[in-house]
Amino acid sequence: MTSEHFDETIVALMERIPFHVFTVELNTGQRIEIDHSRALIVREGVAVFLGPGGVPHLFDHESVNQVIVAPANTDA
């Protein structure tokens, strides 16, 4: 995924009204459930998500396998 496509995709999902939970699946198979739009920062192909309990998740456009427009616990 290019840096530009990554930014466009993630920002579009962050800005949906109303916001809906979505999932970022990394190349390792790890899934990060984005549960709040204001807990995510995206810039130049890099994202930082502050998960529940204040746990930070850092990922970039090269580490993403797919973006799933559904919560992590579903097989959308």
Length of the chain equals 76
pLDDT digits (tens, 9 = 90+) for 23-51: 999 999 999 999 999 999 999 999 999 99
What is the spatial distance between Cα 6 and Cα 75, in angstroms, rounded to a whole number? Answer: 21
- Quote the tokens at residue 29: 């198979």
Structure tokens at 63: 């580490």
Query: What is the percent of the chain with per-residue pLDDT over 90, rounded to a whole number?
Result: 89
Show the tokens assigned to 72.
């992590």
Extract the tokens encoding 10: 């993630």
pTM of the complete model: 0.89
- Give the distance, in angstroms, between the CA of residue 64 and the centroid of all CA atoms in the same chain: 9
- Whether 6 and 45 have beta carbons less than 8 Å apart is answered as yes
For the chain, list the domains and their CATH numbers.
3-68 (2.30.30.100)
Q: What value does the mean pLDDT of the chain take? A: 94
